[in-house]
Amino acid sequence: MAARKLQIKDAFHFGRKNMLRPGDRFRVTGGPIYVTDDGAKIPMYERGVLVFERYCVQGSAKWIEGHRADGGHVVLWVGKPCWSKTISGLRRRPYRITRKLDKKTGSQTRAKKSHR
């Protein structure tokens, strides 16, 4: 089987009109969980303010690379849910971007409502 090419993109679309570009701050929900042998679920996900760097696609694998606002590199799976092939018991669940934050103040960026 031929190796699939890695595609690196500088933008990630989420929702209907929203887009992340390098340097944008955002928050997420979802993420991976670890299921132990006795069935207990341990959350393994990231939380807090994250900063977007790039969006990567390699075949059916899709992920966002970025860093935490307080330091540290993060890789966020945004592909389809699946079991990890390398770590037994790890369930890859996609992250969902809940909101994009303003770069200066850290407040949520909201769309203006149109008044008719």
Cα–Cα distance for residue pair 56/10, rounded to 1 Å: 9
What would the mean pLDDT of 90-101 be, rounded to a whole number? 93
pTM value is: 0.79
Tens digit of pLDDT for each residue in 47-70?
999 999 999 999 989 999 999 988
Q: Give residue 113's pLDDT band: very low, low, confident or very high (50, 70, 90).
A: very low
Length of the chain (residues):
116
CA 116, CA 79: separation in Å to the nearest integer? Answer: 39
**In the chain, what percentage of residues exceed pLDDT 70?**
86
Segment 11-35 mean pLDDT: 93
Closest to 65 (Cα-Cα) out of 12, 19, 14: 12
User: CB under 8 Å to 60, separation ≥6 — which residues?
Assistant: 79, 80
| pLDDT category of residue 114 using cuts at 50, 70 and 90 | very low
Tokens of 9: 């993109």
**CA pair distance 71, 46, nearest whole angstrom:** 13
Find out whether 14 and 97 touch, Cβ atoms under 8 Å.
Answer: yes
